[in-house]
Amino acid sequence: MNYLSALNYANKLLKSKNILSHKLDSELLLAKALNKSREEILINLNSNLEERDFYIFEKLLIRRKKKEPIAYIFRQKDFWKYKFFVNKDVLIPRPETEIIVEEVLKLTSYNSSKFFLDVGTGSGCLILSIIKERPKSHGTAIDISKKAINTAINNAKMHHLENKIKFININIDKFRNNKYDFIVSNPPYINDINFKRLEANVKQFEPGVALKAGVDGLKIIKNLIIKSKKLLKKNGKLVFEFGENQEDKIKKILMKNKFYINKVCKDIRSYPRVIVSTKLF
Ligand SMILES: C[S@@+](CC[C@H](N)C(=O)[O-])C[C@H]1O[C@@H](n2cnc3c(N)ncnc32)[C@H](O)[C@@H]1O
């Protein structure tokens, strides 16, 4: 069997399972099985595929056929300019969360020394990307999941930032330490009804604790805002992500808690996705 026949076989298999990215996934998985780049595969379609390599490829295909996300199969995901180790204990970093990094960078200079808190750090992608770009800053990252914290620590070590960020396994409700210049967060914000409607690859494989946030999806966001009032310095910034149809309710909660709303940023599909706010008093 050559690479082309293997790809055709995989393509058909994944398509039959309604996996929209069947073509790209087949190529990526074959590249992974052969420990080559996707480009190397595509320019050598007539090369012979050894039986042993086909066996490795097939094992990867079976995982993808069951809808396991590519990032978990590869144990890696790109976020911002960096690579992060991911596993089933953490949410796979999403491109829209990069808006938070962009906004923080606009509000700070390269040499600024700020103190950041990341609430619900997961893989640590958010705070690690920020501290990479603002090397004189430091921070704290918290998560209710002990396993997520362990994964974030591994990523901090991979990026040589373990001495700049303190990782704590704690619920935001119980966290009281310090005063921060910035609080950043991509909290869980999916309501119960929308959770049921999520795609199988998300619902079955990504941790529920990273996604679910009660009947209105605002359970954690409300706590985040109330806590941020105490944890931010005066004029400190709270920058966080939220979900569909939550903008107006979130603005109200922020204003009630004496936050000034600086801006709401839209994602690539033009949905309001990230809010930048300032603690006034
Ligand atoms: C949507 S994920 C975000 C992960 C990561 N920041 C990212 O953007 O990829 C939310 C994270 O919040 C954590 N979490 C959920 N409830 C929490 C709580 N009450 N206190 C602290 N962390 C919480 C989850 O364990 C999960 O890792």
* Ligand 1 atom with minimal separation from the 211 CA: 1
Look-up: residue for tokens 């012979």?
48
Residue whose C-alpha is closest to residue 127's, from 155, 85, 150: 155
Whether the CB of 172 sits within 6 Å of ligand 1: yes
Whether the CB of 274 sits within 6 Å of ligand 1: no
Substitution candidate for ligand 1 out of 72, 78, 91, 194 with most atoms within 8 A of CB? 91
Residue extents of the structural domains in the chain: 3-66, 78-279
What pLDDT, in 10s, does the model give residues 153-210? 999 999 999 999 999 999 999 999 789 999 999 999 999 999 999 988 899 999 999 9
What pLDDT, in 10s, does the model give residues 205-242? 999 999 999 999 999 999 999 999 999 999 999 999 99
Which tokens hold the place of 140? 């704290």
Whether the CB of 14 sits within 6 Å of ligand 1: no
Q: What are phi and psi of 14, to 5 degrees?
A: -70, -35
Instruction: Tell me the mean pLDDT in the region 65-86.
Output: 97
Q: What whole-number distance in Å separates Cα of residue 4 and Cα of residue 199?
A: 30
For domain 78-279, say whether CATH 3.40.50.150 is its number.
yes
- Under DSSP, the state recorded for 48 is B
Structural contact between residues 73 and 131, judged by C-beta atoms closer than 8 angstroms: no
